[in-house]
Chain A
Amino acid sequence: MSTLTPPRSGKARPLPAPEAPRPPRRFRRSAARSRAALGALYATPTAVMVGLFFLVPLVLVGWMSLHKWPLLGAPTMNMPDNYTRIADNELVESAVWFTVKYTVLMTVLLFAVAFGLALLVQQRRRGVGFLRTAFLLPMAVGFASASLLFLGLLSDEIGPISDLLRKLGVIDGYVSWTSGSSESALGSAMVLVLWRFAGFNMLILLTGLQAIPLEVYEAARIDGASRWQTFRRVTIPLMRPTIALVLTMMITGSLLAFDQFWILTRGGPDNSTTSLVMVIYREAFIRLDLGSAAAISVALLAVLVVFNVIQLGVLRRRS
């Protein structure tokens, strides 16, 4: 406004633009402080939630793992007994190996199926919408409910699967899918997880696939790249952050496997499908040794942190 003020003298001389009135330093400082306070206020609910539901339980579990922690009464420090006893627990040893084996098998299979489904429904075609919905639909069923559903379906007493397979001539006589042998029990659980989670992972991978600009594919085609070369040199590298994300979710989910084995196989036959979380459950609620359960939980948490650090490393390298 001041630049439009007519000059007082005949000589046109632009007047220096007067500086906008600056608030005194003390006021500036208090404004900045109030802005910061407002920001902190906005963040408070989240901070309280994170503190209350994530950090406090985490610290408590760590603290418990250093104590003999009875259900009622005062805990007594027994560090590092809960940790050293992990090595003596034979069930932990077998559960670790089983959980690792399950994690490797499940991750490979689930990723292959989910990626395959994502590639299948990537292009807009007739019927693709139906397929995408059908693949995702099992996510609507709760995991415990899905496990019970499979238990019923696979039961020779009440389920139709065995009858159907017998009629088709695939099997003969009595077959127990969930506890007949360690292989069939593991297989049953894996089919359940594939059915329940393949669609969800497909959705994430599909989002990643569709984020790749079409121009990149066109350029590759102009350069004469084959479909395989395009997939290997364009799709996979550009999908790396998404792949890292789903792999981390799959690995974390598999290492924390519980429901499918608890409901479907009860950890059997002969403890062959007892996962690490089932051992934690047993220590806490069957043996009522909360300190021991906390120690195994902390050890498992450490493994999960390692996997998550690797994932973050991969993601950061790409971005």
Chain B
Amino acid sequence: MRSRGLRALAVTAAALLVTAVAACGGDDPEATGASGTAGVDDGAQLTLWTRAATESVSKAYAEAYNAKHKNKVTVTSYPNEEYPAKLASAAGAKALPDLFGADVVFAAQYASQGLWTDLTERLAASGLKDKVSPGHLNAGTWEGKNYAVPHTVDMSVMLYNKDLYTKAGLDPEKGPTSLKEFAEHARKIDKLGGDVNGTYFGGNCGGCVEFTFWPSVWGAGGDVLDAKGENAKVDSKEMSDVFALYRALYDEGVAAPASKDEAGPTWLGALQSGKIGIAPGPSVWLGLIEEKGVKMGVAPISGPDGGDSTFIGGDAIGVGATSTKAAQAWDFLLWTMSEEAQVEVIAKGKGVPIRTDLASNKYSSADPRIVLINSLVAKGKTPYAKNFNASFNDPQSPWLQTVRGALFGDAAKSLTDGNNAITKSLQQG
């Protein structure tokens, strides 16, 4: 009797224990998806940091997401130049935001530094891995793991002023099909005289030059970097030809004199003035220039003798490594990659969808220029290198010195010396 009573007590105790464990299981992060692959929408307040250049897109995403979800995303933007320092300081203080975007070319560096949470399993389970911009995805990959997903796409294209084309006797509906033709068009427009200049470029801005010149190198069949981003190839014939063409335009006075000093801040303003005939620039500027009453045409950036390409830029985004709301942050990222967000937020706002399967959509077909821009995604490239910022974009980078030499100094020596210096910088630990 006694032993039976003890056994009953033990069974009851065991049952209670099992129930208690099961009850605790309800808070298990795995069960709620906190460390699982699904997103969680439980009313969390999420912080998102972005650079000023892509702030409007991030805010549009957040606004649309907040309207239909319990989670609320607050977007904070910082000036482009100060953004990397802001992120580095936040990482040092272990106070990164729940989500942060980065210029896609810097993504590899942030991934290698472990600033983003590993999203490999979540991305694999989402079924979106093969549908989003591969260049962006590659940029946010480090040692085989995915740390970031595409957020915004911005591509380089030739933007030309239709009124100046007409005045110069050129067909405003027909942009150049090669870089040599671009130079001819620029020369013809420059002959209009007065304040008008044939073209414009950022000759004191490493980022501007790589964004607008490299597609011509790719279009000609050349390359600028190896696949691992550890060796430069800027001393190639293709690169030399592209620099020579722009240099001639500057020497002849076809390119506006301020091109030599353009460090980036007044680049858009120069095109908005309506006094530049044709210039390569970001596709997102199309709307910004037309807002100023300048009618613009769009053409692909070509190699000297043809062959189109583009630099697929924009932002990649990931979950901050110090965030405690990874599942909720992933819910937001999953939604931004959804068809709803890509069509109703991005395409509707005349942006380029990050989904390759949504390049054609109900909004893009309304404007043939957008169709052209979207079609370039398949032809373009996003360079990959861990030390991209230090090697190419930073004002003290060896690339900017190379650019200055190739455009305004001893071109051959600059490209040879620059190639060694950039390779050394790319390989730096």
A284 and B88 contact, CB distance less than 8 A = yes
Return the chain A residue nearest B321 by Cβ. A72
Binds B, one of A45-53, A205-213, A271-279: A271-279
Alpha-carbon distance between A209 and B269 when the two chains are bound, in angstroms: 51
Contacts of B401 in A (CB 8 A): 270-271
A133 at the A/B interface (Cβ < 8 Å)?
no
B204 and A179 contact, CB distance less than 8 A = yes
Which of B84, B390, B396 neighbours the largest number of chain A CB atoms within 10 Å of its CB? B396
Binds A, one of B51-59, B176-184, B258-266, B339-347: B258-266
Q: How many whole Å from B143's CB to the nearest CB in chain A?
A: 15
B37 at the A/B interface (Cβ < 8 Å)?
no
Return the chain A residue nearest B263 by Cβ. A266
Contacts of A274 in B (CB 8 A): 396
B204 and A268 contact, CB distance less than 8 A = yes
Contacts of B404 in A (CB 8 A): 268-270
A73 at the A/B interface (Cβ < 8 Å)?
yes
Known A-B contacts A71-B88, A71-B91; the reply to A287 vs B428 at CB < 8 A is: yes
A267 at the A/B interface (Cβ < 8 Å)?
yes
Contacts of B88 in A (CB 8 A): 71, 284-285, 288
Residues of A64-101 contacting chain B, CB below 8 A: 70-73, 91
A286 and B257 contact, CB distance less than 8 A = no
Alpha-carbon distance between A284 and B91 when the two chains are bound, in angstroms: 12
Interface string of B118-151 (1 = CB under 8 A from A): 0000000000000000000000000000000000
Which of A71, A73, A180, A274 neighbours the largest number of chain B CB atoms within 10 Å of its CB? A71
A286 and B91 contact, CB distance less than 8 A = no
Alpha-carbon distance between A238 and B66 when the two chains are bound, in angstroms: 70
B387 at the A/B interface (Cβ < 8 Å)?
yes
Contacts of B263 in A (CB 8 A): 179, 266, 268
Q: How many whole Å from B279's CB to the nearest CB in chain A?
A: 15
Return the chain B residue nearest A177 by Cβ. B261
Main secondary structure on A side of the interface with B = loop
A29 at the A/B interface (Cβ < 8 Å)?
no
Contacts of B394 in A (CB 8 A): 282, 286
A157 at the A/B interface (Cβ < 8 Å)?
yes
Residues of B98-117 contacting chain A, CB below 8 A: 109, 113-115
B390 touches which of A156, A268, A287 (Cβ 8 Å): A287
Residues of B260-292 contacting chain A, CB below 8 A: 260-261, 263, 266, 269-270
Alpha-carbon distance between A20 and B95 when the two chains are bound, in angstroms: 65
B113 and A288 contact, CB distance less than 8 A = yes
Known A-B contacts A72-B322, A174-B258, A176-B261; the reply to A282 vs B114 at CB < 8 A is: no
B24 at the A/B interface (Cβ < 8 Å)?
no
Contacts of B89 in A (CB 8 A): 285
Q: How many whole Å from B86's CB to the nearest CB in chain A?
A: 9
Known A-B contacts A157-B258, A270-B404; the reply to A287 vs B387 at CB < 8 A is: yes
Contacts of A268 in B (CB 8 A): 204, 263, 395, 400, 404
A174 touches which of B85, B92, B94, B257 (Cβ 8 Å): B257
What are the 10 closest A-B residue pairs judged by CB atoms, nearest first?
A: A71-B91, A285-B85, A174-B257, A266-B395, A176-B261, A179-B261, A287-B390, A285-B88, A286-B394, A286-B390
5 chain-A/chain-B pairs, Cβ below 8 angstroms: A72-B91, A72-B321, A155-B266, A266-B395, A285-B88
